[in-house]
Structure 1
Amino acid sequence: MPISSAHTRPSPRSRFDPTSSDEADRLSAKALEIHRHLCGVYGCPIAYFHDLDPLSELVSSLLSHRTRNADSGRAFKALRARWPDWERVMDADPAEIEATIHGVTWPELKAPRIRAVLSAIAETRGALSLDFLAGLSVDAARNWLEAIPGVGPKTSAAVLSFSTLRMPALPVDSHHHRVAQRTGLIGARTDVGPSHAILRAQLPDDWSAQALYDNHEVLMLHGQHVCHHRNPACGRCVLLSLCPTGRAREPAANLTVS
């Protein structure tokens, strides 16, 4: 299925801005303060965990949806061991792909999706490569990727940020999203998809790929290690003074943050 060129990304500042410029400025300042505190805890800059070409990163990201990193990593390695290149994965029997990636969540859905995504790229570009994205702006590259059925904002941002493209895009995973909600950077009803544009708009336009990667990583790490889905450790959270959720849970805590 060819990729539609009519797919366009709405401007995050026009579609997702808070209701007033004062509120937008307040949230931007808060986002920077959160970034500063978390970088102090987790250490920035953070080394990139992948060095994959963008097509391989796309497959890795598709495998990782709702799946633990260790499990998706094993599935990715199994795919590479079973088939020497992505062209052969594209032509493989979906049942074989499913069996190869059985350790991920929903392998029965991910196997045909990976084939379909690879086929869409090959049909549109005439070759299985995403290296051309390096010549596009971040918004244009994300628009192109998200025009592929099955590729959403998290996957498109991950391809640009995590791969060897090293482009300034901000992925948002479930941990990152949870911390952003609890600290009030986004609304309680804001889903992960729309949160990408909101959270990116709160950060400086000229931030580098490394700075945006650091922002994603520190919020993700904080969600994993402190701001748990159940029973967040608010009493030892460096963001407690900035977090309305934490203050409500720990009203007697010392709210001084150095």
Structure 2
Amino acid sequence: MPSLPLFPEAPAGLSAKALRAHERLCAEYGCPIPWFRAQDPLSELVSALLSHRTRNASTGAAFRQLRARFPTWEAVRDAPCVEVQEAIAEVTWPEQKAPRIQQVLRRITERRGGDLSLDFLGELPVREARDWLEQLPGVGPKSSAATLLFSRLRKPALPVDSHHHRVAVRLGLIPESTAVGPAHRLLEEQLPPDWDAQRVYDNHEALMLHGQRCCFFREPACQRCVVLDLCPTGQARLASQQGSNPVGDTEEENPRP
């Protein structure tokens, strides 16, 4: 049974454009892209909760410190909140994330009749698994997708981070006014329904890597972009730069950023 799309079909033109961009970026960044880890889904969920507005290095350090201090997730759930906060001090807003993580762990325990595990999600269709996760406090589309895709469950759910979102907006795959949360639905609609977890992962990673290495927040490197011909934002930006050069100026005198 296909896991994607999770919502009604996207316009054919956008889907075709999304696939052309995917193929181009996959060639640029070397798909299939190796998985960066394979931890259990509960650990992946906690990582996702730690990662909000936090750099990856700080998230990883806080997660390792948390696991070093508490041998089990039950121990994290039942510890004094201040001790959990101390263990995750590397992240942004540890005073908010510590009680939220404990709240999520308690809610999972209650809903699962005392079993603090998310392994059962592997038996559910993607949409049902995401709905279950998104009923937990503070768990939105990005966290639910990351839990299912990045964990050892390897389920085809598409996360959208800020880099992925920026590239999609500039390519015209989603409207500029679309926030990251609602963007998950729109970008999922554009993926073929028979894609497995590896292809969904490649799509996320390739767009994310492009945002990190070329399509920067400030001063994107449009002149070396492999999807420039698909990108109305980049084309308009380069046209504007060229049009602003006075007659007779050389490229060396007015270099592109």
State the TM-score, normalized to the length of structure 1: 0.89
Q: 1:1-258 maps to which residues of 2 (within 5 A)?
A: 12-13=7-8, 17=10, 24-125=11-112, 126-251=114-239
**Alpha-carbon separation, structure 1, partners of 2:154 and 2:88:** 27
SS of 1:73 mapped into structure 2: helix
Structure 2 length normalisation: TM-score? 0.89
Structure 1 residue 100, shift from structure 2 partner = 1.1
Identity across the alignment (%): 63
Displacement of 1:106 in angstroms is 1.1
The AA in structure 2 aligned to 1:12 is F
Question: For the residues of structure 1 that align with 2:119 and 2:226, how far apart are their CA atoms?
Answer: 40
Whole-Å separation in 1 of the counterparts to 2:37 and 2:202: 14
Report which structure shows greater RCO (CA 8 Å, sep ≥6): 2
Aligned counterpart, 2:255: none
Q: How many angstroms does 1:42 deviate by?
A: 0.4
**Aligned-partner residue type, residue 51 of structure 1:** A
Q: Which has the larger radius of gyration?
A: 2
Letter in 2 for 1:84: P
What is the Cα deviation at residue 12 of structure 1? 2.2
Distance 2:69 2:57 in 1: 18
Please give the secondary structure, in 2, of the residue aligned with 1:38: helix
C-alpha distance in 2, partners of 1:109/1:222?
32
- Which runs of at least 4 in structure 1 moved beyond 2 Å after TM superposition? none
Matched length: 236
